[in-house]
Structure 1
Amino acid sequence: MGRSGTNSGLAEDLLIELNRDGGVPLHRQIEASIRASIRAGRLRTGASLPPTRALAAGLGVSRGVVVEAYQQLVAEGYLASRSGGYTQVAASMPPVAADAGSTASTVRPAARRAGFRIDFGYGRTDVSQFPRAAWLRSIRTVLATTPNDRFAYLDGRGVPELREALCDYHNRVRGTSSVPDNVVICNGYAQAISLLIQVLALHGARRIALEDPSSDDDARVLAAAAGLDVVGIPVGPDGVQVDALHRADADAVVLTPSHQWPTGGVLSATARAEVIRWAKHRGAIVVEDDYDAEYRYDRSPVGAMQGLAPDHIVYCGTASKTLAPGLRLGWMVVPPQLVADVAAAKVLADRGSPVIEQLTFADFLTRGEFDRHLRRMRPVYRRRRNALLGALRTHLPDLEPAGIAAGQHVVAWLPPDLEEAAVVTAAARHGLGIKGVGPYRIAGTGPGGLIFGYAPLGETAIAEGVALLATAIREVRGS
């Protein structure tokens, strides 16, 4: 085919169309195409462009035409020439609005997506602190030393190395009673609870109990889809109210006993023993979500319940709060009578979690890097927790903080004159993201409170956020 008419070749990386019969110089057409891609966000800052020779060959033009186009875009600030002859995108433009007649916004895309100046949204750890160098060493070790057969399909429980490393860690640090054969690796807690609900329904469960309030929206939706009834068990200052559990007629209960979410209460030794008696009497299962027990500041470690009754408790752990949620690494220590069915459900779901990530985490644990990372992060989060409490004392002394001794969030109960939803709405108007306790209640009643997730925020941002909240609350009270 000849070169006349329109050339729609991709030139390896760029979508550039040249119309040789249109009367517009070819270098101008190349300029316009690259400029439009940068302005539309298709070419991001730092993206490398093809070398001039390669692009010229792909477009069927002389190299001088491409050089002239690049030079013009460098002069305009869209491109930059780097050492070694590389040309990269130097400018970042916000995407053009969908309405072609409107003027493009000058707000940075990231700021527009976030929507808040400061966000106290819960559930986010500080991923900027991820131990990249140590993790990379473990990846290199895995790739250099892992036998070939580990990269084939494995059984649904996961690689033996990680199951053994997790047992060693949790038996030492959390007081569990776990053996590798009873560990199932999964993609975070969300998949763990999904698999467990499937298996519980298979074993004849009819009703599942959840703490009220509780963050376990996954369990609510999945249980309903599996045909199970869901009942809320009220939570007091020290965790779930066990007397209500006895009245619930449930076949399983999901608990956060070491740091109740969101109230922060710790289930007492007496209450734990009563929950275990309840489970043994009914032949029920307790799901222990141990989501952030590693982060504690003003109290002694609280051991896991699983070590007290391994035949009745499923212990769930995750790397989402300790390392990064994007790893999608979670695990369960499952009672012996359920292991085969949970592993089979895992195989049916996705044929098993990624092997390299599992082996990398196993090496990371075994070399003590996980312990070192936690020792480094505890004082960081403690300082941020202290900054939050100090700002609340200064700006909002009538709010009552709770659950402050551990974790990555604090609940602050509102005084009776403040309506939770009104405060959350007013805070949003001032550029502050914060959630109330109300949406996490199953029964829908209880005192108003705000959930402060402080883990990813610096101390200055925390203080500024509380000051914004104080302004919003004065506005609510004034109205």
Structure 2
Amino acid sequence: MYGIYIDRESKRSVTHQVCQQLRRLIESGQLAAGTRLLPTRVLAKEWGIARNVVIEVYEQLTAEGYLEGRVGSGTYVASGIVPSPRPRNEPSVSEQPIDKVTSTEHSHLIDFAAGIPDQKMFPRHIWAKYLKQAAEASVNANHDYGHIKGDKTLRSAICDYVFRSKGIQCSSDQIVIVSGASEGLLLLAKSLASRFHSIYIEDPTIDITRDIFQMMNYRLVPVEVDHSGMRIDSLASFAPGHLVLLTPSHQFPSGSVLSIQRRHQVIRMLEEADSFVIEDDYDSEFRLRGIPVPPLQTLSPSRVIYVGTFSKTLTPSLRIGFMIVPPDLTDAITKMKDKLNIHTPAVIQQALSRFILDGHLERHIHKMKNVYKKRRNVLTERLHHLFGADISIVGDDAGMHLQVIFGPQAYALLPWNDTASYGFRVEPSSNYSISPSCPPSSTGIVLGYGNLSTEEIEEGLSRLYSFASPCKDSS
């Protein structure tokens, strides 16, 4: 209520924190003279504090002249307080936290970052064993850069893994190891630049992929996303010299799945234009309801360049990804990788190959699916409890993030990029839009839950609700 945030671990008392924030609300004019404050019992329940504390706050501010009690009526903001002028460009009290808490004062900022897996549950002891074995084996090995496509054992292990888990049939010669999916996309942009100058890209989409192709001088052609993925039906055909970039199994940030009708339409249009689609399959392993969605690659191996990563299934710090390249493009991409002298550390590749071959990757994925499913359920239930009909949660039950779309426009206008002083951080959906006019799907926020415990999720949503509560009160 009133946008009051209580830092439970601050050295300042709760009474001091609430008094200070209410003073600023009154001094700024956001609580105008004559405004009737809510009863102490209601605020105590809303803020999760003792009623005596709220009574003490009211008495303190009454003594200071900010409030006045009216017998039988309640407590009101006193008259005669001239609102303090704000310097130009300084946000109003509702646009910034009332009682700002610096990062040094706040013991724990809860970051709803999307795409970050649980770092605490990474099997570090098992990984350390394989890493040690690979390092020791390398002592007597030939210390060259290794094959430009990557370690042959790892490529073979990935080949078997993607067949078991995704139904992808390919040879190890089609697999190219890269230092993360970002490097893979950069390599593709460079390798294909002689044939292609533009790219159809989802709008909204992750800023990394957008920026990579833009920096490589590709013209971006944004295509709106709806509940069935990229709106392929809005295009009559693919123009010559255009690539396509899709996240068909779990679009980011909307969470939508590209429908089978649109998948077939993409393949048909690619064949007509003699073009290729880059399939960014960043987290399809974590489908939390039903069975995994088959990759687009399985429909047309000759037209789809598949990009996978271990940053989501294991940890971003590995910096290992891979591409499954159509045979017609393998030589061009391999030669460009060799020309740029791009290699992935051999020891890490060898450790990862044994990790996969001994079954640890799939065991870890199976375990984490249950963990993420529980966290998603906690997140969705708590969101509905706090915001009710004011929000809708969109996207497939998959991955490590969800998107919240707001009903009342007032929520979307809040400064979601500046919430750290409330003890949490989120990304507004509009951050991922390409077109100047944001589609309806951009009037919300993206909440990642991969690296947060259920306790952190609940506390983070409490802080989020406190930040947004002025809109809730006025809706």
Which residue matches 1:414? 406
Q: Which has the higher contact order (CA 8 A, sep 6+)?
A: 2
Deviation string, structure 1 residues 400-430 (Cα, Å, up to 9, x no partner): 1112511000101011423425151574442
Checking the alignment, whether the CA contact within 8 Å between 2:309 and 2:320 is kept in structure 1 is: yes
For residue 224 of structure 1, report the CA deviation from its aligned partner: 2.8
SS in 1 for 2:244: strand
Contact 2:204/2:224 (8 A) holds in 1: yes
Correspondence for 2:439: 446
The equivalent residue for 1:283 is 274
Instruction: State the match for 1:234 in structure 2.
Output: 224
The one-letter code matched in structure 1 to 2:260 is A
CA distance in 2: counterparts of 1:347 and 1:112, whole angstroms: 46
Q: Distance in 2 between matches of 1:399 and 1:252?
A: 36
The verdict on how the C-alpha distance between 1:230 and 1:116 changes in structure 2, with shifts beyond 3 A counting, is farther
CA displacement at 1:226 relative to structure 2? 2.8
Q: Sequence identity, in percent?
A: 32
The answer to whether 1:299 aligns with 2:290 is yes
CA distance in 2 between partners of 1:126 and 1:330 (Å): 18
**5+ residue gaps in structure 2?**
1-101
* Distance in 2 separating the partners of 1:163 and 1:170: 11
* Alignment correspondent of 2:3: none
Alignment counterpart, residue 170 of structure 1, candidates 156, 162, 168: 162
SS of equivalent residue, structure 1 residue 129: coil
User: Residue deviations 1:94-146, cap 9 Å, x none?
Assistant: xxxxxxxxxxxxxxxx9549996211121211111111122123224434556
Mapping 1:346-357, distance limit 5 Å: 346-357=337-348
Indicate the structure (1 or 2) with the bigger Cα radius of gyration: 1
> What's the offset of the Cα at 1:299?
2.1
Amino acid at match of 1:348: K
Match 2:205 to one of 200, 214, 219: 214
SS in 2 for 1:374: helix
8 Å CA contact 1:118, 1:461 repeated in 2? yes
1:392 matches 2:383: yes
**Is the CA contact (8 Å cut-off) linking 1:426 and 1:473 kept in structure 2?**
no
Question: Which residues in structure 2 correspond to 1:125-140 (within 5 Å)?
Answer: 125-140=117-132
One-letter code aligned to 1:197: A
What SS is found at the alignment partner of 1:303? coil
Residue range with higher mean Cα deviation, 306-315 or 220-229? 220-229
Bigger mean CA offset, 417-426 vs 223-232: 417-426
SS of equivalent to 1:128 = coil
TM-score normalised by length of structure 1: 0.73
Mapped contact 2:289–2:397 kept (Cα < 8 A) = yes
State the AA in 1 paired with 2:264.
A
- Letter of the aligned partner of 1:252 in structure 2? L
Shift of 1:461: 1.2
- Counterpart-to-counterpart distance in 1, 2:418 and 2:180: 34
Of 466-475 and 359-368, deviating more is: 466-475
Residue equivalent to 1:65 = none
Q: Amino acid of the residue matched to residue 225 of structure 1?
A: M
Q: Which residue of 2 aligns with 1:368?
A: 359
Q: Which runs of structure 2 are paired with 1:128-207 in the superposition (5 Å)?
A: 128-143=120-135, 148-149=140-141, 151-202=143-194, 204-207=195-198
How much does 1:148 deviate? 4.9
TM-score (structure 2 length as normaliser)? 0.73
- Corresponding residue of 1:465: 460
- Structure 2 CA distance, aligned partners of 1:115 and 1:433? 14
**For residues 357 and 248 of structure 1, what CA distance do their matches in structure 2 show?**
40
> Aligned equivalents of 1:474 and 1:248: distance in 2?
46
Would the alpha carbon gap of residues 470 and 207 (structure 1) be closer, same or farther in structure 2, given more than 3 Å must change? same
Deviation per CA, 1:339-383: give whole Å up to 9, x if none: 122122223334411001111111111110101111111111111
Amino acid at match of 1:450: I
Instruction: Give the direction of change, closer, same or farther, for the CA distance of 1:234–1:121 in structure 2 (3 Å limit).
Output: same
Given that residues 206 and 227 in structure 1 are in contact (C-alpha distance below 8 angstroms), is that contact kept between their aligned partners in structure 2? yes
- Match of 2:312, SS state, is coil
Unaligned 5+ segments in structure 1 are 1-109
| Structure 1: distance between partners of 2:258 and 2:181 | 21
**Structure 1 counterpart of 2:462, one-letter code:** A
Question: Secondary structure of 1:294's partner?
Answer: helix
Q: For the Cα contact (< 8 Å) 1:299–1:405, is it kept in 2?
A: no
Mapped partners of 2:327, 2:142: distance in 1: 25
Taking a change above 3 Å as real, the CA distance of residues 133 and 240 of structure 1, as seen in their structure-2 partners, is: same
Identify the residue that residue 20 of structure 1 maps to in structure 2: none
